[in-house]
Amino acid sequence: MAKKVFAVVRSDWVPHSVDVSVPSIARAYDFMLGGAHNFAVDREIALKIDRMMPGLRAGARVNRAFLGRAVRFMAARGIRQFLDIGSGIPTVSNVHEVAQAVDPACRVVYVDRDPIAVAHSELMLTGNDRAAIVRADMRDVEGVLGSPQVAELLDLTEPVGLLMMLMLHWIPDEWGPGELVARYRDALAPGSYLAASHVSADHVGRPMHTAAEMIRDSGSRDRMTVRDHTGILALFDGFELVEPGLVGCAEWRPEGPGDISDEPDMNMLLYAGVGRVNPRRPG
Ligand code: SAM
């Protein structure tokens, strides 16, 4: 089949290194959340998947609502510093906004490898001396934790709220996602938390695997790995999951109607959980 050619209009907000002829999951997700930092290729893949799994945008909103609840949960337990890995293109209710609404002294470091996510986060954070972004691949654990932004804003001898929202399914098994999470976990003080959400096919079945194939075939550098409940639970190794455990995203301590979608499948499209660094872990 002939490859579709899109007329690409380069806006001045696009860094020159960005290839806007292949989709990026950061930009496709921005589109699903109603953002403006995306191109025809991003919208096409998002709409293709949405046609197959109607209500996908509601799933993205349910994830953002979970992110807000998880940050408030951690802040209510005394967490005042956050490391948000795979933070994406800024949208509404970003981690620093939620955390600093609880306590303006909260400090936040964002990490993403997508240049547009980084450029827009830098713009958004101008003038906020308690939040910054690092452009890095999360696999570069030393680079992230040793970055000037982390050194300036986070005290790793104190508990940190680590977020990996809709992030770990972009780490294929051969990259060792469990080992990567463990390297971050081991750098955190006892009493730190991990909050994560992750796609699964447990409830929607085959369409989720087809979505992963569509992303692979789109030319995007991003590869989605669909995991089941057991596989996602394993990523929380060394963390004590807080109640209600690893559950459908909308089932994690919903606070109001905005946390739950009218599309039942979208409430269960992602698993979500929050775990506390186990103070009794060996070593
Ligand atoms: N965390 C946000 C949320 O849940 O609303 C955004 C999630 S977005 C779907 C996933 C983000 O992870 C994208 O911005 C992408 O660039 C980033 N990402 C994927 N793989 C990454 C990696 N290896 N290192 C750093 N960021 C990565």
Per-residue model confidence as pLDDT tens digits over 184-194: 999 999 999 99
With a 6 A CB cut-off, is 272 part of the ligand 1 pocket?
A: no
| C-beta separation of 219 from 28 below 8 A | no
| Residue 29 is assigned to a structural domain of this protein | no
- Decide if 253 is inside a domain: yes
Of the pLDDT bands very low, low, confident and very high (cuts 50, 70, 90), residue 71 is very high
d(CA 52, CA 112): 28
d(CA 93, CA 90): 9
In a domain, 230, yes or no: yes
Of 84, 167, 183, best ligand 1 pocket probe by most atoms within 8 Å of the beta carbon: 167
Residue 205 domain-assigned (yes or no): yes
Given a contact cutoff of 8 angstroms between Cβ atoms, the answer to whether 59 and 200 are in contact is: no
Beta strands in the chain (DSSP E): 81-85, 107-112, 131-135, 161-165, 193-199, 239-241, 247-248, 270-277
Domain-embedded: residue 199? yes
Number of domains in the chain: 1
User: What count of residues does the chain have?
Assistant: 283
Give distance in angstroms: CA of 64 to centre of ligand 1.
13
Residue 239 beta carbon below 6 angstroms from any ligand 1 atom: no
pTM of the predicted protein model: 0.94
Q: Domain of 201?
A: 57-277
Nearest CA to ligand 1 atom 11: 86
Share of the chain above pLDDT 70, in %: 94
Six-digit token pair at 87? 């933070």
Whether pLDDT at 6 is above 60: no
pLDDT digits (tens, 9 = 90+) for 82-100: 999 999 999 889 999 999 9
pLDDT of residue 9: 44
Kindly give the distance from the C-alpha atom of residue 166 to the centroid of ligand 1, in angstroms, as a whole number.
7
Residue nearest atom 17 of ligand 1, based on CA coordinates? 86
Q: Is residue 8 part of a domain?
A: no
Per-state percent for the chain, helix, strand, coil, to nearest 5: 40, 15, 45
- 94 in contact with ligand 1, CB cutoff 6 A: no
Protein residue with least CA distance to atom 27, ligand 1: 86
Q: Tell the residue number behind the tokens 């979505």, with chain if given.
A: 211
266 has pLDDT over 90:
no
CB of 29 sitting under 6 A from ligand 1: yes
- CATH code for position 193: 3.40.50.150
Sequence-distant (≥ 6) Cβ neighbours of residue 2 within 8 angstroms:
none
Structural contact between residues 197 and 277, judged by C-beta atoms closer than 8 angstroms: no
Mutate to test the pocket of ligand 1, among 17, 95, 114 (most ligand atoms within 8 A of CB): 114
- In the reported structure, the alpha carbon of residue 17 is separated from the centroid of ligand 1 by a whole-number distance in angstroms of 18
